[in-house]
Structure 1
Amino acid sequence: MTFAAARETRQITKALAAKLSGKVRGEDRTVRRDSYDVDDKRANVWRPIGDGTVGGAMDWRDSFLQTAREYDDHHRGDRGVRPLGWTGIRVLEMLLGVRGVPICFKTGRLEPAIDTLARIGRLSRTTVIRALARLKQHNFLRWVRRSQKTDRKGEFAPQRVQVTNAYFFDIGSLPKNVRQRFRDLMSRRAQRRAAHATRQHSTPPLPPAPPPVPSSPDLRDALARLGAQVESASTPKGQYPAQGVR
């Protein structure tokens, strides 16, 4: 009996035993609660980063990271305990594409695996999970769980598997003062970008004016004779053939 045939036989046996015992397959135990199918519109939570352009997204990212760092420093506890911590800031940097995690600025699509974050950030899986929880607790990150159908429909086997979370950022969920700080930083960066663009597209400088011509005929003649003498005093072509000067 081949492996495939043996597997099919086991599945048929399990299904028959479940039917005889009155058991009905329930939700897959490997799928977390409140997980939406990847094709469910409720799992489509991504939003453009900034205005979706590279320049606008970079301004948004830098402003958001600076806001998070300032928040983490301002709310430091008496013993130096920070609400986000350096691991939280590192994970946030990775999610925003600073450390190699792919993110689409145009759509905001962001779905890295926890193991990927751990590998790129050189952190343990547990550390990444705790950092994500702190970011979510302080409203610097949100996500939805997702699942996907398997290709084992009709079999007495898992019908769904857990897939990576869909991560997104919601500025509106931040505290009012933190949200205002972020907007101030964005405004400053937008002003600097506009000023830089204005300088680049400004009218180029005029070419230097030609040297003035003396009004006196005698002075013009004297300058012309001086120029001729300087030109005649230069080294004639081929004067030093032995040295290869031509």
Structure 2
Amino acid sequence: MSGGASISRDVHRLLKGATAKLAGRNPRGPDIGEGRRVPHRKSFLETTPEAKPWARIGDGSVAAGLAHREAIIETAEQLRVDQWRKFPLQEVRQARLERDAAATELEELATRSPAELPVGRPAALRQRIEQLDAKIEAADRRLRRTDLTVLKALLAFLDFKTGKLFPAHETIAEKAGCHLNTVKAALKRLNNHGFIDWVRRTARTGNEGEFAPQLEQTSNAYFFDNRRKMAKTTWSRFVQILTAKMRRIGRTPQGLAAAPVSDPSPPPAPGSLAAAIADLGAAVSRAST
């Protein structure tokens, strides 16, 4: 590349960056290495507290950590089964076909004169398309089998004592035996259902004083915000599974510390059970978020 072309490119970058700054935008910047870009949203330097969202899992022991990990995986598996029962593949395919047919008919009606339009038909079609879109969108959020594989691969890197969890996407893909894009799509769905969350981590490039990017993204730092992000029914199921596993290893979350490990007595009244579950939820949240 000629010197003039290089200068022109640098000037273009400067002008683009200045324009973005004046407009209140935070540009991603150019690539740094293969497939890497300067992050612009929800990203923090590795050395800052924000880039270290992890917390000890349970009491930090291997037994408690395994109980938490298995409870998350089992809850995700049960949710996947429920979702595919609610939205069977054939039913979703039929919804897509019906949606396409309705959209085609609506487009055809748009070419007619007002006098030729069937009374109320366009409005009925638009309403039906909206209903089908909602159903298809909900079905598209279903967990896949590959999502469970990715979740297991990700959690294999979890440090129970500290809660640290920041493998690269490529590392997760290698562990799961799947494509990088499969990992990214799976993490997005797992995040949508509250099983995992993350912040982007960045590192300084050492280009201070040079016309070059100052930061590059390294990897995500994963953490658990299950109680806040999971649907209520999913969270309740997770609590039940985790409680059973903790009791089997002779441990009980703080909220149920006074209850015997194996109590054959009938369950308490609904009010007190609800209170116990609430206490348990707070304890699990403190331990795993």
TM-score (norm 1): 0.65
**Per-residue deviation, residues 159-180 of structure 1 (Å, max 9, x unmatched):** 1111101111212121112111
How many angstroms does 1:46 deviate by? 0.8
* C-alpha distance 121-85 of structure 1, shift in aligned 2 (>3 A): same
CA distance in 1, matches of 2:249, 2:174: 35
Q: Confirm whether residue 139 of structure 1 aligns to residue 194 of structure 2.
A: yes
Deviates more, 1:106-115 or 1:21-30: 21-30
**Counterpart AA for 1:33:** H
**Per-residue deviation, residues 73-118 of structure 1 (Å, max 9, x unmatched):** 0111221777111111011101111xxxx32111111111111111
**Counterpart AA for 2:72:** F
CA distance in 1, matches of 2:67, 2:14: 60
**Per-residue deviation, residues 176-213 of structure 1 (Å, max 9, x unmatched):** 12111111112212222229xx9xxxxxxxxxxxxxxx
SS in 2 for 1:194: coil
Higher helix share: 2
TM-score (norm 2): 0.56
Q: What's 2:180 paired with?
A: 125
SS in 2 for 1:42: helix
Q: Mapping of 1:39-188 within 5 angstroms? A: 39-76=47-84, 77-79=87-89, 83-97=142-156, 102-172=157-227, 173-188=229-244
How many residues in Structure 1 have an aligned counterpart in Structure 2? 179
CA distance in 2, matches of 1:65, 1:33: 31
SS in 2 for 1:75: helix
Deviates more, 1:141-150 or 1:77-86: 77-86
Q: What's 1:226 paired with?
A: none
Identity, in percent, stands at 33
CA distance in 1, matches of 2:162, 2:175: 23
CA distance in 2, matches of 1:133, 1:42: 21
**Counterpart AA for 1:128:** V
Q: Is the 8 A contact 2:39 2:216 kept in 1?
A: no
Q: Is the 8 A contact 2:44 2:50 kept in 1?
A: yes
CA distance in 1, matches of 2:63, 2:89: 39
SS in 2 for 1:188: helix
**Counterpart AA for 1:189:** K
* Structure of higher RCO (CA pairs closer than 8 Å, 6+ residues apart): 2
Q: Is the 8 A contact 1:14 1:156 kept in 2?
A: no
SS in 2 for 1:143: strand
SS in 2 for 1:140: coil
* C-alpha distance 22-146 of structure 1, shift in aligned 2 (>3 A): closer
* C-alpha distance 123-24 of structure 1, shift in aligned 2 (>3 A): closer
SS in 1 for 2:234: helix
**Counterpart AA for 1:151:** G
**Counterpart AA for 1:79:** L
CA distance in 2, matches of 1:95, 1:24: 38
CA distance in 2, matches of 1:153, 1:140: 38
CA RMSD of aligned residues (A): 2.8
**Per-residue deviation, residues 24-45 of structure 1 (Å, max 9, x unmatched):** 9665332122121112222221
Q: Is the 8 A contact 2:38 2:213 kept in 1?
A: no
Q: What's 2:248 paired with?
A: 192
Unpaired stretches in structure 1, ≥5 consecutive residues: 1-9, 199-246
